[in-house]
Structure 1
Amino acid sequence: MKLAYQYKLQPTYLQRCRINKWLDMLRLQYNYLLADRFDWWEMNRCPVNACPLICSITQPREKPEYYGQKRSLVSLKKEREWYADIHADVLQDMVKRVDLAFKRFIKGDSKGKRSGKPRFKGKNRYRTYGYSRVKPDCIQGNRITLPKLGEVKLIQHRPIPDGFTIKRALITKKADGFYVTLTLEDKSVPDAPTIDIQPTETNSIGVDAGLEYFIACSDGDTKEPPRFYRQSEEKLGRLQAKRELKPKGSTSRRKLNERIAKLHQKIARQRKQWHFELAGELVNKADVIFIEDLKIVNLIRRNKPKQTEDGTFLANGQAAKSGLNKSFADAGIAGFLNEILPDKAAKAGRQIIKVNPAGTSQYCANCLNEVPKELSDRWHSCPHCGVQMPRDVNSGILIKKVGLGVRLTIKRESRKGRRSLRFSPELRQAQLPRSRRANL
């Protein structure tokens, strides 16, 4: 099992200057190697007899790859002697980052999802470098020993767990200083422990995520989103307006940029801390947690433009949706459902089950009849059984029922497009009167 622990560093003035110098030199070499990859890709990505007309004729050369660019570091240190000051593992880690970024652009990751075209790193945009190997006993007291940096003071707010060994270290420059992220490994603990819990009515809970209520549980408990960004938006706007009045490259503009970065960092930390506390509360409630398999990327996608026959653009509602997208980003629903809650549940021995979100807001959780609602309708009022409750709480109850085996399927009955709700045999039996249910 691997863990990542992050501690804040308190380097001396000379150590800070050396780290900043390393980051700047690594950024320049990163851009050079990335440009070499782009140059080959543009000139040699297709056979000579199939080159497009817009492609210039160039001498074919060997494709840049990871090991070839690693071997170029030897000549780099001879031609530019100042690069010999950087540790060899740090330089090799930079080459690995170039290779990873370009492979994700060309081939995609392990799931086949491709990333966008890698960008060149501007000044102060290369903030992390890594040591692929560090000594297991590099931490002694409140100091950590890093190659070519020596002993650096750190704030060890929590001890290293017993049985875990330090394998790797990353140095990151943030708005409020430098941090070290340690990769800890314990081979005796499995990476993904198998959690097999049979969900029942008593040991499970359904959770619906949204913006009016960040979560609405099937037991009626709700939590409103704290809106940390909205609370600091006015202060952030004042700082940004003041920054635009300062000349570019001036000391006053740089200091305002630092204040803006620290404010963004504070907002992100507040949100993350609240997410972890909320995940702990949910984990303590039940052994099995049912959540929707939401695609937040689709929810915040821009509206398609609308045009008339003469090419005039019509209103498509994007101006109103931009505020909704900002609220989604402020709430951080995707990070909570896909990263923080599953990680917290796995460490506590709980199980997270994602269910199909189709129909979880359009039916009554009590009688399971269809109750259509618009997005602006935030109250559930069933005309069939008379149940009334908040829309999100109704969805939370329905998510739990779907997770426990209730199937909500919609099938077209006729050519006119009429729809009917089909239930599983168990659910159909549950809807029958008790007198008829006993005869089955």
Structure 2
Amino acid sequence: MRTAYQYKLRPTKQQAAEIDRWLSMLCSQYNYLLADRFNWYEQNRSPINACPLVCHLPELRDNPDYFSQKKTLPQLKKTHPWYSEIYSQVLQDVVKRVKVTFDRFLKGDGNGKRSGKPRFKHRSRYRTFTYPQMKDGCLQGNLINLPMLGKVKVVLHRSIPDGFKIKTASVTKKADGFYLTISLEDATVTEINPDFNPDSIAGIDVGLKEFLTTSDGETVAIPQHYRKAQKRLKVIQKRVSRCKKSSNRRQKAVKQLGCQHKKVADKRKDFHFKTVNWLLSKYDVIAHEDLNVKGLARTRLAKSVLDAGWSSFLSILANKAENAGLLVIPVSAHNTSQDCSNCGEKVPKKLHVRWHDCPNCGCSLDRDHNAAINIKNRAVGHSVLKAQRLRNSRIGCEAYTILVPKLV
């Protein structure tokens, strides 16, 4: 199992200046390697029997891939000796980042979804470098030994669990300082608890009136962190726009604006984790709608949707449930608010209608509560729950063993 912990770094002034210098050099190398790939792609993207609209007649050369670009690093250190002051594996990780970015542009990710054309990074947008390997015992007390940087102070607000090993370490520069993200690995594999209570299942419906409503009728108020901070953000943004570009005062104002935005993001993240902890401590199985959050963010409700952070919340919920051996089931969001949770009849209603009244069976309850019950009912047919109920009803071990392998 892999997990990641993030800690605040407290480098000295010399170490902070060295980290900034590394980021500047790594940004330049990233842009150079990306430009090398773009040049080859533009000059060689047409087949040999065709000619592009803009004809190029370059010298033929091999496609720059991960290994060929990696072989250029020794020569780089000879022509630019200051690059030899960067740890070799950190420099090699830049080549890997270029490869991953360019492959997603041409081929797509594991699901076949392609990303946009990679952009050259400005110095202010290149904020992270990674150590792909870390030695055992690199973390000693509140100090971590980063090769070529030395021992840097870490604010260990929580200890590393027993049995976990540090695999990688990333240093990130944010608005309020430097952070260390360590990737931890444990040899054990977390499995779904086969003895969960099939009656301890809940459906949750996320919304903008209430952050979520459970199938039991409980609600969690939506905090609207961004909307509450808009007045303060507006004042700081005006301060930035009134400063002269490239001036020291503007840089200070931009840093202050970044700190304020980070404060809003941290509040939202803390709220998500606390809500997930409350749900997982109460239920063994949680069902939610399989939402297209990107599509909803293109509507007139975009600001409210992004302020709620549904995508981040559902991602945290799935990860924490997996680590705890619990189950999270995404179900289809089609007509969960329109169908009656009691009789199943479709009761059309517009978005501003917040109460569900079924003329067929007389069911009357809140619209979000009705949707949460529908989500729960759709999740009850999941094969895990079927297997558990067959086991509890003692129909037979043969039926149970047939259903369980379908889960993996």
Q: CA deviation at 1:213?
A: 1.4
Deviations 1:328-382 (A, max 9, x none): 0000011111x11111212222111111111211121122222111122111122
Residues 331 and 378, structure 2, Cα contact 8 Å, conserved in 1: yes
One-letter amino acid matched to 1:63: N
- 8 Å CA contact 1:360–1:399 kept in 2: the answer is yes
* 2:211 aligned to which of 196, 210, 214: 214
Q: Which residue of structure 2 aligns with residue 181 of structure 1?
A: 181
Shift of 1:83: 0.6
TM-score by length of 1: 0.84
Distance (whole Å) between structure 2 residues aligned to residue 143 and residue 48 of structure 1: 57
**Residue 302 of structure 2 is aligned to residue 325 of structure 1:** yes
User: Aligned residue for 2:267?
Assistant: 270
Contact in 2 for aligned 1:199/1:404 (Cα 8 Å): no
TM superposition shift of 1:196 = 4.5
In structure 2, the residue matched to 1:261 is 258
8 A Cα contact 1:197 1:288, kept in partner:
no
Does the CA-based 8 Å contact 1:196-1:351 persist in structure 2?
no
Residue 221 (structure 2) aligns with? 224
Aligned to 2:345, which of 351, 369, 392?
369
Residue 132 of structure 1: aligned partner = 132
| Whole-Å separation in 1 of the counterparts to 2:99 and 2:125 | 18
Give the Cα separation in 2 of the matches to 1:340 and 1:88. 34
Work out which of the residue numbers 240, 244, 248 in structure 2 matches 1:243.
240
Deviation at 1:387?
2.5
- Return the offset for 1:163: 0.9
Cα deviation per residue 1:88-111 (whole Å; 9 max; x = unaligned)?
A: 011000111011100010111111
Q: 1:199 to 1:400 in 2, by over 3 A?
A: farther
Q: How many residues align?
A: 382
Question: After the TM superposition, which residues 400-411 of structure 1 pair with which residues of structure 2 at under 5 Å, given as runs?
Answer: 400-405=376-381
Matches within 5 A, 1:7-406: 7-187=7-187, 189-190=188-189, 193-196=191-194, 200=198, 202-301=199-298, 321=300, 324-337=301-314, 339-405=315-381
Secondary structure at the residue paired with 1:276?
A: helix
- Are the equivalent residues in 1 in contact too, given 2:240–2:250 (CA < 8 A)? yes
Q: Is the 8 A contact 1:8 1:154 kept in 2?
A: yes
Q: 1:168 & 1:222 partners in 2: Cα distance?
A: 40
* Cα deviations by residue, 1:252-301 (Å, 9 ceiling, x for unpaired): 11011001100111111100110011011111221111111111122223
Cα displacement string for residues 47-81 of structure 1 (whole angstroms, at most 9, x for unaligned residues) = 23212222322222110000111110010000001
Q: TM-score, normalised by structure 2?
A: 0.91
Distance 1:369 1:53 in 2: 59
Equivalent residue number for residue 6 of structure 1: 6
Contact 1:361 1:394 in 2 (8 A): yes
Structural RMSD (CA): 1.5
Bigger Rg over Cα: 1
Give the C-alpha shift of residue 198 in structure 1: 7.2
Post-superposition offset of 1:199: 7.1
Q: Deviations over 1:421-440 (max 9, x none)?
A: xxxxxxxxxxxxxxxxxxxx
Structure 2 counterpart of 1:193, one-letter code = E
Structure 1: which amino acid aligns with 2:220? K
CA contact (8 A) 2:143 2:152 kept: yes
Contact 1:290 1:355 in 2 (8 A): yes
Letter matched to residue 346 of structure 1: E
| Stretches of structure 1 lacking an aligned partner (at least 5 in a row) | 303-320, 407-440
Aligned to 1:410: none
Equivalent pair of 1:204/1:287 in contact (CA under 8 Å): yes
For the Cα contact (< 8 Å) 1:197–1:287, is it kept in 2? no
Q: Calculate percent identity across the aligned residue pairs.
A: 49
CA distance in 2, matches of 1:131, 1:400: 44
1:421 matched residue in structure 2: none
Q: Which contiguous aligned blocks of 4+ residues in structure 1 show a shift greater than 6 angstroms? A: none
